[in-house]
Amino acid sequence: MNLQDFIAMEESRERDELIDLRSLDLVSEYDSHLMCPICHCPFVAPVRLQCDHVFCGSCLSSAINTFRSADSDEFPCPSCRNPTQKVSASVPRLLINMCDEIRVRCPLITEGCQEIIPRGHVQSHVEKYCGYRLLPCPDNSCDQMTRSKDVGMDQKCIHKARRCAHCEEDVLEHEYEEHEKELCPVLEVTCADCETVVTRRALQEHIESCPEVAIPCSASKYACPAKIRRADIAAHEQSCPIVAMGPYFEAQDARLKSLESSMRHLQQRNEIFEDGLANLRSTLVESTRLGASSHGSGQPTQSGREQQSSARVDVHTDDPADLSASVFSSNATTYLLSLHESLREEVSQLSHAITDLDARASMAIMNECMRIKEDIAHTNAAVNSVRMQVQWLMNPRLHQGTRGGAVRPNSTESEGTRTTMASSAAGPSHAAGQSLGPPSAQTPQ
Amino acid sequence: MGSIKRISKELTELTESPPEGITVELADESNVYEWKVIMEGPEGSPYYNGKFLVKLSLPTEYPFKPPTVSFATKIYHPNVTNDEKGSMCLGMLRADEWKPSSKIAAVLQFARQLLSEPMPDDAVEGRIAEQYKTDRGRYEEVAREWTRKHAS
């Protein structure tokens, strides 16, 4: 049949199923091949797919509803994922019989039915034979339920109260018989030890005072094995050595208890101390390790010494007895060493700073020198031009002073000087404006 | 309704005869869909001696939809995400590979098997998978360290 028909069939069938076969309490083991892979119970109304995989009908229908994409006419088999279109209701009779054979408890075990029946018969058992099925009370005015076995032939309500003729208590009709025979407190019973006849109500009281009942010696908690009739127990306790020892035992007991509690207290304190010690030790080891790694590279002797000290700490951690002493001494050394190290670092920082300053100062001096040199050159040039001008101004006077003597050669010389002067006359302003004139070109000699 | 019956059946089986190294209980007695699983690291793996809390949550459509497995305890493993979710990548738990016939016991055993034999080709943590393939020694060292730190 195709999927639509199958789902419709399953839905109609689910409605008339009365008993949930999956929640039954299985008594016997069953073959794992009979287990539905979806609900993990023995098959209930199994069906088969094209790939020969078998499932409960209801499990398969919910699987189809989950896996089938909307309105497609196929779905993957939940076991092998083969695409499947047809479901076959014909499963081997053998398989169904094996599932029906599995022994289960009657589901009405909650009401008291102890029957164990094959699973195939559960439905009919509950419907027809089980005496514990709850039925509405035959009396229409009573709204309680009655077990089917209690209904009986006469069809009367069992929930009416009936007064007991002996003890005047109200008892339900269906419990009356049991009450009258066994439970009524007015019934007379015989004490098992002294054979006195008492009522049920007084029995407990009687047992507590009955002289024939054997009771343990009052020192039984300190291992007196005696268990004697109540009548004779006083005599026994007078002679029992353990009873005499009783007070002493009690005192010892109390002492032990107080010792135990103080010991527990001490243990707790000890644990706290140990924790603290472990904490101290770990921080110590960590700090030495840190110190060694940060200063190790620069100072070979230093790091060697530090490694020694940390090694010493490591060695001593195994020996708690002299741990504290070594911790203190190594602590002090480490402290001094680290102080030393930090001072050394500071010194080196200072020397760095000094070199730096030195370099900067010399740089500044050099710069200053250059500028001064330039200025000097300028001044030189200016002085030169001034000298030239002075010479040029002085020249005519010198000529006047020497006229009369050697005129001829002088005139040629003054010619030459004049040309020089002319070039120099333009020169001074030039040279003063120029930053660095070639001084050799303007020096007169 | 069917799912609750099957889940409680599997839970009873798992608590009565638990597989090696796996203990199962409900995270909350009134909710059968959330399980708390204690998984012991398998012997011979770097997770040995570790106790990992694994959360297994079942969908209401179980067994038609797969359960999800996540590690609440941090674990250094190529197939478990290294975040607060700790979700585990299991091939059989992917929606298109899940079969209703698979049992939770099988899922848990498979997850534990994955602890001893990670699948670096199916990894969610690429870096760890790379390390697992190229530098096995270092991987085991870190995994052991994490196990000691988080799972003991």
Arithmetic mean of pLDDT over chain B:
86
pLDDT of B98 over the 70 cut: yes
Q: What percent of chain A has pLDDT over 90?
A: 20
| A62·B10 Cβ contact <8 A | no
| A66·B64 Cβ contact <8 A | yes
The dotted CATH code for B2-150 is 3.10.110.10
Mean pLDDT of A268-285: 92
Q: Report the Cα A217 to chain-centroid distance in Å.
A: 56
Which residue has better confidence, A215 or A118?
A: A118
Query: Using CB atoms, which residue from B2, B61, B101 is nearest to A78?
Result: B101
CB pairs under 8 A between A and B: 36
Alpha helix stretches (DSSP H) within A296-322: 300-316
Q: In the prediction, which pLDDT does A444 show?
A: 47
Which residue has better confidence, B52 or A306?
A: B52
Contacts of B64 in chain A (CB under 8 A): 62-63, 66-67, 78
Residue of B nearest to A41 (CA): B6
Minimum distance, in Å, between the CA of residue A67 and any CA atom of chain B: 8
The dotted CATH code for A188-244 is 3.30.40.10
pLDDT of A300 over the 80 cut: no
Minimum distance, in Å, between the CA of residue A58 and any CA atom of chain B: 10
- Where residue A264 falls among pLDDT bands split at 50, 70, 90? very high
Q: d(Cα B113, Cα B132) in Å, to the nearest integer?
A: 16
Does domain A3-129 correspond to CATH entry 3.10.20.740? no
Contacts of A25 in chain B (CB under 8 A): none
Minimum distance, in Å, between the CA of residue A138 and any CA atom of chain B: 35
**Contact status, residue A210 vs residue A186, Cβ threshold 8 Å:** no
For A83-196, strand residue ranges (E) read 83-84, 87-88, 103-105, 116-118, 134-136, 145-147, 161-163, 170-172, 188-190
Fill in the amino acid letter for A118: P
pLDDT of A420 over the 50 cut: no
Q: In the prediction, which pLDDT does A441 show?
A: 45
For chain B, say whether A83 makes contact (Cβ under 8 Å). Answer: no
Minimum distance, in Å, between the CA of residue A78 and any CA atom of chain B: 6
Q: In the prediction, which pLDDT does A359 show?
A: 95
Minimum distance, in Å, between the CA of residue A261 and any CA atom of chain B: 31
Contacts of A38 in chain B (CB under 8 A): 6, 63, 100-101
Q: In the prediction, which pLDDT does A372 show?
A: 95
Question: How large is the ipTM?
Answer: 0.73
Choose the most confident range, by mean pLDDT, from A355-359, A417-421, B115-119.
A355-359
Mean pLDDT of B128-146: 88
Q: In the prediction, which pLDDT does A275 show?
A: 92
Quickly count: other Cβ atoms within 10 Å of residue A4's Cβ.
11
| A37·B101 Cβ contact <8 A | yes
| A38·B10 Cβ contact <8 A | no
Contacts of A24 in chain B (CB under 8 A): none
Tell me: the pLDDT tens digits for A8-34?
887 777 666 667 777 788 887 888 888
Q: d(Cα A230, Cα A242) in Å, to the nearest integer?
A: 18
Tell me: the pLDDT tens digits for A134-177?
777 777 777 777 777 777 666 667 666 677 777 777 777 667 77
Residue of A nearest to B102 (CA): A37
Q: In the prediction, which pLDDT does A270 show?
A: 95
Contacts of B63 in chain A (CB under 8 A): 38
Q: Report the Cα A362 to chain-centroid distance in Å.
A: 66
pLDDT of A341 over the 80 cut: yes
Mean pLDDT of B16-43: 87
Q: Which H helix or E strand runs over B106?
A: helix B104-116
Angle at A419 between CA A416 and CA A424, to 5 degrees: 125
Task: Quote the tokens at residue A33.
Answer: 């091949």
- Where residue A354 falls among pLDDT bands split at 50, 70, 90? very high
Q: In the prediction, which pLDDT does A233 show?
A: 81
Q: Where are the domains of chain A?
A: 3-129, 134-183, 188-244, 263-389
Q: In the prediction, which pLDDT does A429 show?
A: 45
| B99·A59 Cβ contact <8 A | no
Which of A95-109, A234-248, A332-346, B10-24 is predicted least confidently? Answer: A234-248
Tell me: the pLDDT tens digits for A390-419?
999 999 888 887 765 554 544 444 444 444
pLDDT of B69 over the 50 cut: yes
Strand, helix or coil for residue A282: helix
Q: How would you list the strands of the sheet with B68-71, edge to edge?
A: B22-28, B31-40, B51-57, B68-71
Q: d(Cα B42, Cα B115) in Å, to the nearest integer?
A: 7
Minimum distance, in Å, between the CA of residue B44 and any CA atom of chain A: 31
Residue of B nearest to A25 (CA): B9
Mean pLDDT of B49-58: 89
Q: Do A3-129 and A188-244 come out as alike in CATH topology? A: yes
- Overall residue count recorded for chain B in this entry: 152
Contacts of B9 in chain A (CB under 8 A): 40-41
| B100·A78 Cβ contact <8 A | yes
| A62·B64 Cβ contact <8 A | yes
pLDDT of A203 over the 90 cut: no
Task: Quote the tokens at residue A405.
Answer: 């003597």
Mean pLDDT of A51-62: 87
Q: Where are the domains of chain B?
A: 2-150
Contacts of B10 in chain A (CB under 8 A): 40
For chain B, say whether A39 makes contact (Cβ under 8 Å). Answer: yes
Residue of B1, B13, B16, B64 to mutate, testing the A interface (most A Cβ within 10 Å of its Cβ): B64
Query: Which residues have a Cβ under 8 Å from the Cβ of A123 and sit 6 or more positions away?
Result: A18, A19
The verdict on whether omega for the bond into residue B63 sits within 30 degrees of 0, i.e. cis, is yes
| A63·B100 Cβ contact <8 A | yes
Q: In the prediction, which pLDDT does A322 show?
A: 52
Q: In the prediction, which pLDDT does B19 show?
A: 87
Q: In the prediction, which pLDDT does A328 show?
A: 62
